[in-house]
Chain A
Amino acid sequence: MDKLLVSLLLVIMVLLVLLFSMFFLLVFYRMEEVKSKKKIKEYIEDRKGDWYEYLLGEGMRIEDLKPNGSLELKAIDELFFRLSYHFTSDEINERINAFAALYMSDYYNKDLSSRSSGVRINTLNKISLYNLTFMLEPVSKILRKKKVYPKAEYLLLYEIIIKFSRTDFVAHFIHPKVTLGEFDYKKLLLELDETQISLLAEDFTVLPDMLKLTLIEIVGVRHYLDWLPLLHECLDSPAQELRIRALKSIAELEVADALKLYEGFSYSDVWEERLMTAKIFRSAPTEEALPVLKHLIKDSTYPVRAQAAKSMKSLKNGQQALYSVITTSSDEFAVDVAEEMFGKE
């Protein structure tokens, strides 16, 4: 027992010594950090006017800004971040690229091959944010490596490929190195422009399911009317989620033809489909929309009723129709949502 006591005492003493030395080490690093932070701040304060001249004005040559030492590189890096957060133009882009390619290529390449995944992710974020196109090659090289990276990194790598190279991405999309979810696809697809979307939509049938859903949604968000036939095809799909998304996108497109195709969905068993139908009919001609919406305003699900009321209100002469629901309908819920629409005046 005595021995146990003594050894425990010893353990605690050792731990204490260890913790305190850690404390002092920490304090030392902390002080270094404070110093360099101060220097970075000073650099930004001193030179921000010069940087304005270089990026947006005329008066500053690239050589005049040549960085001295790693702290200045860090400061410039921070300056890029803050500037690109607020401003963007081809001119700024070009000049940042020119500067970074000349003086900061080593800085970014070193961080890109850092052992800490945090640092690598930071760098990828920066490449994408400041549009450092000259880094495309090193980035593509990472994707060719056998080494496996965390998912967050792959996402960023793909994002950069999409941004900087117009066609290479399709292959990565069909066979991604990690499983991508809905959020991931959305995030990536949002980077695509219309021709890139078309490139992808050509292979619609072979795309992973999740990508199909996302693509359908993007068509709506971006108002790509050309792809309406594709949406109509999806309405016949056995996959419920795909149908809902297609209806949703059709609603976003605000089209009023092919109404017959949508009408049936107001009797669907799935409330989301009824909801989207209610939304689609807000942009239809009054005489065709009213019967459908009058049916949907009595729906058993609240969001459907509310949407039907909202859609009705946005119709031509919809106010009157809505008013007649309040005065004539025997359905308490319908009256309620209709009244709320008026309350929102």
Chain B
Amino acid sequence: MKTQNSELNMLDASLFRQLFYWQMANTKRFRQVFTVVFVKSPESPEIKEILLEQIRNSDLLFNFPTGEPDVILMANTGEEEADVFIDRLRGTETTRSYRVGVSVIEIRNGDATLEEILQVGNDSVNRALQLPGNTPYVKDRTFRKLERQCVRVSIIDEDPIVTMVIQKLVERVYIKQLDLDIRVFHDGQYFIESDWYQSSHTHLVIVNDILPRKNGLEVLYTLRELPNAQKYHVFMMTKRKSEAEMIFAYENGVDDYITKPFNPHLFESQIKKVLNRIYYG
């Protein structure tokens, strides 16, 4: 029974690259955490059988050439959950005479590359082997830090004083790991003509409903037609509007309505809330 599973869980090293990047895409998009474990035993290179018995069904063991550490990929797993694996590996100490070095690397940073991780894994597992004990291990936290993410912010209003104030308010919002790239437009047409809004970035659009040339609803319409429309968070500023119009705008992609004159501090915290949600999901 167990062996059957084991065979399935043991994969050729050549597949690691593909599966790693597939996992990485999920990390980047859905903020999923995964862990890569490097295992090395210089005295007895063939520990694969033992490893296969100790990993969970959802983990994948990659069979690297002799001399290089073997790699276990644990999807949706953090460093704490990997402790269980280490405990179980320790349990095998009575049945073996050789030392096994382990390095646990939790990955949160969506920008990490395969080469970086292999490098760090190799180094840290060698570091572990210099520690005493039969199953020495280290936890490397190089990739636990989230990567910096860039959010684009467009401010569209006719009056330069307004855009100045809003820009400063947005700049004041500080969220670790978020880079805000702010740009100001003074009419709708100019915004639509620019290729600025067409990117894969998460995009905050703060737009007045009445604008020279193309107005706010038309800007909204343009954004709504984009394939990645859900990447846009639209704040629409308005002087008093009729209920019907507001309902229409909500149904067509406005996320928040801001009625002028508005309280700048409330607005600031609204922006902050939205940005937080963008980042932490």
Expressed in whole angstroms, the Cα–Cα distance for A110 and B104 within the complex equals 77
Which of A84-92, A115-123, A241-249 binds B? A84-92
Q: How large is the interface on A (under 10, 10 to 19, 20 to 34, 35 or more residues)?
A: 10 to 19
Q: How far is the CB of B29 from chain A (nearest CB, A)?
A: 36
Return the chain A residue nearest B237 by Cβ: A86
Expressed in whole angstroms, the Cα–Cα distance for A84 and B169 within the complex equals 16
- Tell me which residues from 140 to 177 in chain B have a Cβ below 8 Å from any Cβ of chain A: 159-162, 164-165, 168-169
Do the beta carbons of A88 and B164 come within 8 Å of each other?
no
Q: Say yes or no: is B265 at the interface (Cβ < 8 Å to chain A).
A: yes
Q: Say yes or no: is A44 at the interface (Cβ < 8 Å to chain B).
A: yes
Q: How far is the CB of B227 from chain A (nearest CB, A)?
A: 28
- Tell me which residues from 87 to 113 in chain A have a Cβ below 8 Å from any Cβ of chain B: 87-89, 91-92
Do the beta carbons of A92 and B260 come within 8 Å of each other?
no
Main DSSP-derived SS at the B contact region:
helix
Do the beta carbons of A86 and B263 come within 8 Å of each other?
no
Contacts of B168 in A (CB 8 A): 49, 52, 56-57
Q: Which of these, A52, A56, A86, A91, contacts B260 with CB under 8 Å?
A: A86
Expressed in whole angstroms, the Cα–Cα distance for A88 and B169 within the complex equals 14
Do the beta carbons of B261 and A86 come within 8 Å of each other?
yes
Q: Say yes or no: is A292 at the interface (Cβ < 8 Å to chain B).
A: no
7 interchain residue pairs of minimum CB distance: A88-B261, A89-B263, A82-B161, A86-B162, A86-B260, A87-B264, A87-B261
Q: Which residues of A contact B (CB under 8 A)?
A: 44, 48-49, 52, 56-57, 79, 82-89, 91-92
Q: Which residues of B contact A (CB under 8 A)?
A: 159-162, 164-165, 168-169, 237, 260-266
A-B contact pairs, 26 of them (CB 8 A): A44-B161, A48-B160, A48-B161, A49-B164, A49-B168, A56-B165, A56-B169, A56-B264, A82-B159, A82-B161, A83-B161, A85-B260, A85-B261, A86-B161, A86-B162, A86-B237, A86-B261, A86-B262, A87-B165, A87-B261, A87-B264, A88-B261, A88-B263, A89-B263, A89-B264, A89-B266
